[in-house]
Amino acid sequence: MKYLVTGGAGFIGSNFILYMLGKYSNIKIVNLDKLTYAGNLENLKSLEKDKRYKFIKGDICDRKVVEQAMKDVDAVVHFAAESHVDRSITGPAVFVETNIIGTQVLLDAAKEKNIRFHHVSTDEVFGALPLNKPKQKFSETTLYNPHSPYSASKAGSDHLVRAYHDTYGLPITISNCSNNYGPYQFPEKVIPLFITNALNNKPLPVYGTGKAIRDYLYVTDHCQAIDLILEKGKIGQTYCIGGDAEKNGLKVAAAILAATGKPKSLKTFVEDRKGHDMRYAIDHSKITRELGWQPSVDFEQGIQMTVDWYKENQEWWKRIISKKYLDTNRDQANKRKNG
């Protein structure tokens, strides 16, 4: 079995590649990644001499590169996406280009060879849930109601994938997951940001009043779910993957401060995100019932495992933070120069 994994140098993609090659000895994986700011080949350094693994640097919007990467492939697992909500608010164009146009290019190439296509999406396409209805959750039948440029672009890609199945008969599956966390996550996302800030004795910036709730999913549980969908999932179906770990910003900060042994005084409040969805939660009963999957890592265990990883891999994230600040300063200088 040969897989094309798009965005395999990113957080979830790299964890998926490591998981699959660790579990199966008889598979091959081609990793197609543009290596934008969130892509990091250091995540896959252990595979440099593994003959089952091949890396191709390229853009999913480039048809020639996509066709090259898809040669002799049995299945595509599509992670590649612009994924940070705050960045989509300040610069939505790249989200539309990568998440919608890039997905369409991949689908066209897969259609020509009728290649199995699994599309990895997000719970954010469903919009928001009310805080005062804790039993209400997103499921495969929830209507789409995206609120940010990021979630709108992912919703568009979801619809394209389904359209290629309905129109052309392309064998597809889709998964919508809740907020992932774990090793190799880029430090702009809330959990690694809080962890790295805590380890540096810097404030943990909690949005608004800290009451917005997310359902957290440990990344290895997510990888196991995708593996099951590829093996047993029904073609044309969507599967929602949740972590059974609804936490608001205050609880996330408290858990990380406890796991790092840092004082509660590091918690601070910042201006709320524009159009902030107040609650996400996923009902994963379909994938549990049909494929036998359920999350195995609870939130407290997962946070401790993640904190331990960031403690043990400080060179990895310190280089990223240093580069991020250098890039930010350079961009600001260019704006002043050109402005």
- CA-nearest of 189, 169, 173 to 181 is 189
Q: Out of 3, 53, 150, 310, pick the active-site residue.
A: 150
Contacts 24+ apart (CB under 8 A), 57-65: 57/33, 58/32, 58/33, 58/34, 59/34, 59/102, 60/6, 60/32, 60/34, 60/98, 60/102, 60/103, 60/105, 60/106, 61/97, 61/98, 61/101, 61/102, 61/105, 62/105, 63/105, 63/108, 63/109, 65/32
207 near 190, Cβ under 8 Å? Answer: no
Residues 6+ apart with CB under 8 A from 45: none
Q: What is the DSSP letter of 27?
A: -
* Cα–Cα dist 177/300, whole Å: 19
Number of Cα atoms under 13 Å in the Cβ half of residue 208:
14
Active-site residue flag, 184: no
Active-site residue flag, 246: no
* Cα–Cα dist 30/1, whole Å: 11
Q: Out of 33, 59, 82, 124, pick the active-site residue.
A: 124
Q: What is the DSSP letter of 191?
A: H
Active-site residue flag, 42: no
186 near 250, Cβ under 8 Å? Answer: no
What is the number of other CB atoms lying within 10 angstroms of the CB of residue 45? 9
Q: Out of 33, 59, 82, 123, pick the active-site residue.
A: 123
Q: Any idea which residues carry the catalytic annotation?
A: 123-124, 150
